[in-house]
Chain A
Amino acid sequence: MRPFDYQRARTLSDVASAAQQGAAIIAGGTNLLDLMKLEVMTPERLVDITRLDLKAIEETDDGGLRVGALVTNSDLAADMRVRTRWPVLAKALLSGASGQLRNKATTGGNLLQRTRCYYFYDTAMPCNKREPGSGCAAIGGFNRIHAILGASEKCIATHPSDMAVAMLALGAKVEITDRAGNDRTVSLDKFHLLPGDTPEKETVLEPGDLITGVVLPAPVQGRQIYRKVRDRASYAFALVSIAAVVDVKDEKIARADLAFGGLAHKPWRDAALETALVGKPVSEAAFDAAADILLKDAKPQGSNDFKIPLARRVLISVLKEATR
């Protein structure tokens, strides 16, 4: 760990003035501290935002929910409104990490957690995300947990969040305050980026930006499911996960909001897949066709080849369950 300055922010303007080049914002620190110990991340200054007033969960006028950036994963998962109206989110949260980590991890921090790529964590290995231009050791290496969708020649890492997958299926929006104090809102499906040529840039956040909250739209009609497949029963990241909000009317699919984890550099949503499902009669053929669309450009890397058939099976199973 490199020596660093520590500053506690009491107001948003404290953050703005402190969050200069070389600074990192810390809330729960469940990922950042590990990365700092390994010197994968080496901020010169930590700006502690845990005293900011961003811990509220409030209903919005239109029946949605605003979740403060500092609401812990445990608190959000336990919120009765979330449990009853957005159960897919509660389930996703509880399938992530461990009780101790969820007590510390925050909503904003969860969106910003870094990949679990083994090579990203080992500073003796090349990694374009850690050290742009150095190469990607995961390509041609052991890549069981890596991406099959949307990867690039520069990076095949996956985003590890469960929470973000559920929020993506729910159409969440991220509220951001910039250094000048201006607020903006970014739809979650535009928030995370694919690796392309700049895998070090993972979100649309600019220096000085702060996530202040996440807004869930009012719940829609439909069955909510979160299914996570992993290598052990708990405390493991998703190999494949699916968040689904699916509605059936007159034996036809009326809604199919589907988001996927473990497949790509960001929580994955595929509009073509959803369009193909909506309006179709509930049938195995429709589910198969949806899986074809999801996986048509899938590219395996060797140790993650199994993710292609696995994603297909899990998608079909989730759709069956959701339309049963």
Chain B
Amino acid sequence: MTRHLTMDEADTRRRLDDMVQGTLGTPFDRPDGPLKVTGTAPYAAEWQSADLCHGVLVRAPVTKGRLKAISDEAVKALPGVLAVVSGEKMLRNPAQGMANEAPVQGSEDIVYFGQPVALVVAETFEQARHGAQALKLEIERDEDFAIDPNAVEPEVPEDKQSSTGDLDTAMRDAAHSIDAVYTTPAHSSASMEPHASIAEWDGDSLTLHGSYQMLKFNRNELADSLGIDPKNVRILSPYVGGGFGSKLGIAPEAIAAALAAKELGRPVSVSMTRQQVFETTMRRSETRQRIRLAAGADGKLTGIGHEALVSSLFDEGFTEPVTQATPFLYRGENRVIGNSVARLNRTCAGSVRAPGEAVGVTAFENAMDELAEKVGIDPVELRRINIPDEVPSQNIRFSSHKLAEALDEGAKAFGWDKRNAKPGAVRDGEWQIGMGMSSAFRVNLLIESEARVTLKADGTAEVETDMTDIGTGTYAVLTQIAAEMLGLPPENVTVRLGDTEYPPASGSGGSFGAASSGTSVFLACEEIRERIADAVGCTETDLTLKDGMAIAGNRSTPLTKVLDGQNFEAKGHVKPGEAQKKVRQATYGAYFAEVAVNSVTGETRVRRMTGAFAAGRILNAKTARSQCIGGMVWGIGMALTEDLVHDPRYGQIVNHDLAEYHVAVNADVPQIDVILLDERDDWANPLQAKGLGELGICGAAAAVTNAIYNATGVRVRDYPATLDKVLAGNT
């Protein structure tokens, strides 16, 4: 039996609050944790297969051109080399998230430096890598390329522009206004596990061990790229070593591995080198954001302008949705919101953790800090007085809105009242000390998802779905949901993920994974509860399940007895519906940071950081907290160091390794405190849970740069706030 739900209305039953097992919401340890820390969880490239050979992708060493020929005789003669694969099926770049079809294909047209144009396959990885480096490409260079987003005429898509009221007049009449331009550089996901696939054919059937986030889409993308029936494709991704958006869509290594495996009749493994991960997987677009704020004497906003320029590769549908959250952030009836896109010969731009808000809210929250100073009120208070009653200019209400509470709780825990509002006023020896804050916003989504739950005759349960765990804690939270609903100790629940043979899930992306796939598990469990209730002769709502016992009325019966040798199996299936249109669903939070800026060198060190977040019901206190900490660590990186640099002449990524692309390291990360607010969002889903994976980065960097301003009086509007920029304003 399948229980279906289309989320059209709020679910006010809050059934999980009726459950008594007591595992949901606790800091339950990841069941997959011991495997991962002992190195026994097999990641994509670690699958053992007899006869396995290895392929290494070959990069185009030009910005633009045409691949005329490949002279592969010399390489084919190298020891161990088995094949050189190229041609019209090779992927130019990864598919965008949820594309569900092949991305642009073909190795002939080269449109960015580093584009994979061939694969060299050999008996060993080392032989293949040498072959890839030695392969001679005959390329007709085309010097007519574009690499500077400010030097091309951008596209201005109509559906990405909106305007209400009269912002120009509002700006003119404003008691206080801000009109400033902020820039953020390109970013890389830089996940720990490089992108890797092992492809193996059995007749017409392909099995791919890959490192992917959204298998039901990836299966179709892979099949479409190869021109085969998706039924003949199986993808396995039980463990993924970080994705952050870079593994949403099928990528060049998977297709290359499949093509080579078909040609050779042997399984082929293709792992990207770290440099290839930087060059050929999705980057976050750089942004240029003009932000205008018009406010009355009291600081209440009357107008908002947020216009962004981003870039992407040609023929790509996705563009960084910088202003995605802007329509509902704050009050102010006069608005101009728009996104334009420059088409460039640069590595493809796509989703990187919290596309849109990560950079859009960050710059906006810098502007709010500037406005607070102009108005002369506390930055927290400025946010508070501008919280709208309903979504401005859309006349729909919020499903739940906890920004005020997050601001209050965060400020209290951080000790915001001790901040000296005067910039440059606090010193500790050579260091200038400052505090800054910002709000967090992220849209909330529900995506179609299915799962199967089997309550077995022995009283244990199994959950199966092609959902992925990309380090986020899916194994843990799905275990907890099933255990809670079925009244089982969590050790009696086994969750199986990452296999397209299982019912298709939402996949991991956009922070929707836990709530979407969790709802499908919840629905399947509800169905099983009905069957148990039938068997013990009560209604489902009168049934209590705890520790393997079914309790109804005064009778307590072991589940094994109720099951009587049978398995109870059910599927859950959730689809988004009208609820996403009837109300605005979002998650909220507030960040507070204390920084020390060295008055000699301009180096900034974050001293401590606090984040308060509301994301509906918290499914696991430990993994939720870890997600928030991770997001804030990314925020520190965005604020201070991360900058994917493109060469000004050729557009290639210059700092394509972890030595020179500076993510925050341990020494950059101070004590981070996380407060998770108690919330139930009935409009989100029957779990009342919302997405949390990205909320921690949606404005975090602004808290740091606002703190730099408070410490020094230097307003860095061009991210990252490296020491040279801080010094330039601080002499």
Binding site for B on A (CB under 8 A): 1-3, 37-39, 116, 118-119, 121-124, 137, 140-142, 145, 229-237, 239, 306, 309-310, 313-314, 317
Q: How far is the CA of A229 from the CA of B130 in the complex (A)?
A: 37
CB pair B724 A314 closer than 8 Å = no
CB pair A1 B126 closer than 8 Å = yes
Q: How far is the CB of A2 from chain B (nearest CB, A)?
A: 6
CB pair A39 B130 closer than 8 Å = yes
| Given A142-B645, A234-B665; A118-B724 close (CB under 8 Å) | no
Does B660 lie at the interface of the complex (its beta carbon under 8 Å from any beta carbon of A)?
Answer: yes
CB pair B603 A229 closer than 8 Å = yes
- Give the residues in chain A near B727, CB-CB below 8 Å: 306, 309-310, 313
| Given A239-B723, A306-B724; A234-B654 close (CB under 8 Å) | no
Q: How far is the CB of B60 from chain A (nearest CB, A)?
A: 9
Main secondary structure of the interface of A (DSSP, over half): loop
| Given A141-B649, A317-B600; A232-B660 close (CB under 8 Å) | no
Q: How far is the CB of B499 from chain A (nearest CB, A)?
A: 33
| Given A2-B130, A116-B660; A142-B647 close (CB under 8 Å) | yes
Q: How far is the CB of B133 from chain A (nearest CB, A)?
A: 5
| Given A141-B649, A142-B654; A232-B641 close (CB under 8 Å) | yes
Smallest Cβ-Cβ distance to B728: which chain A residue: A306
CB pair A37 B724 closer than 8 Å = no
- Give the residues in chain A near B649, CB-CB below 8 Å: 140-141
Main secondary structure of the interface of B (DSSP, over half): loop
Smallest Cβ-Cβ distance to A2: which chain B residue: B130
Q: How far is the CA of A264 from the CA of B602 in the complex (A)?
A: 21
Smallest Cβ-Cβ distance to B660: which chain A residue: A118
CB pair B654 A233 closer than 8 Å = no
CB pair B660 A229 closer than 8 Å = no
State the 7 A-B residue pairs at the shortest beta-carbon distance, nearest first.
Answer: A306-B724, A124-B61, A234-B667, A233-B667, A317-B600, A229-B601, A118-B654
Q: How far is the CA of A314 from the CA of B602 in the complex (A)?
A: 10
Binding site for A on B (CB under 8 A): 59, 61, 79, 113, 126, 129-130, 133, 273, 275, 430, 600-603, 605, 640-641, 645, 647-649, 652, 654-657, 659-660, 662, 664-668, 722-724, 727-728, 731
Smallest Cβ-Cβ distance to B603: which chain A residue: A229
Q: List 20 A-B contacts (CB under 8 A).
A: A1-B126, A37-B273, A119-B654, A124-B113, A141-B647, A141-B648, A141-B654, A142-B647, A142-B655, A145-B660, A229-B601, A231-B722, A233-B605, A235-B659, A306-B727, A306-B728, A309-B731, A310-B601, A310-B724, A317-B601
Smallest Cβ-Cβ distance to B659: which chain A residue: A116
Q: How far is the CA of A124 from the CA of B657 in the complex (A)?
A: 15
Smallest Cβ-Cβ distance to B114: which chain A residue: A124
Selected contact of B665 from candidates A118, A232, A306, A317, CB within 8 Å: A232
- Give the residues in chain B near A3, CB-CB below 8 Å: 79, 126, 130
Q: How far is the CA of A201 from the CA of B605 in the complex (A)?
A: 38
Smallest Cβ-Cβ distance to A230: which chain B residue: B603
Most B CB contacts (10 A, CB to CB) among A230, A231, A239, A306 go to A231
- Give the residues in chain B near A234, CB-CB below 8 Å: 665-668
Q: How far is the CA of A39 from the CA of B129 in the complex (A)?
A: 10
Most A CB contacts (10 A, CB to CB) among B61, B605, B723 go to B723
Q: How far is the CA of A142 from the CA of B661 in the complex (A)?
A: 13
Q: How far is the CB of A94 from chain B (nearest CB, A)?
A: 12
Q: How far is the CA of A314 from the CA of B601 in the complex (A)?
A: 7
Q: How far is the CB of B232 from chain A (nearest CB, A)?
A: 36
Selected contact of A142 from candidates B130, B430, B648, B659, CB within 8 Å: B648
Q: How far is the CA of A230 from the CA of B61 in the complex (A)?
A: 31
- Give the residues in chain B near A140, CB-CB below 8 Å: 648-649
Q: How far is the CA of A121 from the CA of B665 in the complex (A)?
A: 23
